[in-house]
Amino acid sequence: MDNFGWKVVRGVFVAVVVLGLCFLVLPLLVIVPLSFNAEPYFTFTEGMLRLDGEAYSLRWYRSILENPEWSKAIGNSFIIGVFATLVATVLGTLAALGLNNPRLPFRQAISALLISPMVTPVIIVAVGVFFFYSSMGLAQTHLGLILAHAMLGAPFVVITVTATLAGFDQTLMRAATSLGAGPLTAFTRIQLPLISPGVLTGALFAFIASFDEVVVVLFLGGVDQRTIPRQMWSGIREEISPTILAIATLLIVFAILLLLAVELLQRRNKLSAETSVK
């Protein structure tokens, strides 16, 4: 094939990539302007296309504030998310430290067990959780959802912290102990600060896993445990109003903030990995 032919192939390749990226991100971007629609429609009105100021309004954002169901859902999402994240992060970080220790027996099997909630379809987890937690009286309680979400989030912490530990220089610990520091001191003074970006990344993953989860909430949660995604679910199925789009826009902004936080942590992580090598 001649040079021109390769240019065509290259052009086609670039076009495919651009189209694919558009497919990924455009659907999300479409929601944002629509959430400012002054009319209760899900499509662009003529006024919106003319960029007429009157066609845009904040009414759907106001209706979030005015509706106590949404504020309750937002509260529930954060309460359940924060507590589930705390449990998942503490247990997950400890487990990752254990898994990192070469003397741990059955390492492969244990890591498979600890990660299994992540790869089990959530519908099946929800069924099992529904049967067992109901029989324990945990159905329709915040505690039940916190436990279930912590279980779903823990694998993310295990994975990210394990990955961070892989880049951690163990000689630092030995150096610390040889200088007379106890293992606990060495851990809190040397290891923890260095792996903390990894721990925080894992915590963010665990939080988003809980924040985004809806199937377990559907099966196990009652009216008092409605979270944002649960409220969106009934919003879509029952009375779909552009309020959903306003909430969706807020969630997109929130996701971008979390993503930036993770990026920053990664950068710090890299930095600390580099300093630990030095």
Residues 242 and 64 sit within 8 Å (Cβ to Cβ):
no
Residues 6+ apart with CB under 8 A from 185: 176
Shortest distance, position 45 Cβ to another protein, whole Å: 10
**Which single residue is written with the structure tokens 């920053």?**
264
Comparing CB distances to another protein, the nearer of 32 and 172 is 32
CB of 224 to another protein, least distance (A): 8
CA–CA separation, 219 and 240 (whole Å): 22
Distance CA 104, CA 119 (A): 23
Report, in Å, the least distance between residue 103 CB and another protein.
Answer: 5
CA dihedral over 93, 98, 99, 100, signed as positive or negative: positive
Look up residue 126 and give its DSSP letter.
H
In whole angstroms, the minimum distance from the beta carbon of 168 to another protein comes to 15
Calculated CA dihedral for residues 153, 238, 58, 210, nearest 10 degrees: 0
Which residue's CB is nearer to another protein, number 30 or number 172?
A: 30
CB of 73 to another protein, least distance (A): 12
- Residue nearer to another protein on the CB measure, 103 or 278: 103
Which one, 172 or 250, has the nearer CB to another protein?
250
> Which residue, 194 or 244, is less far from another protein as judged by CB?
244
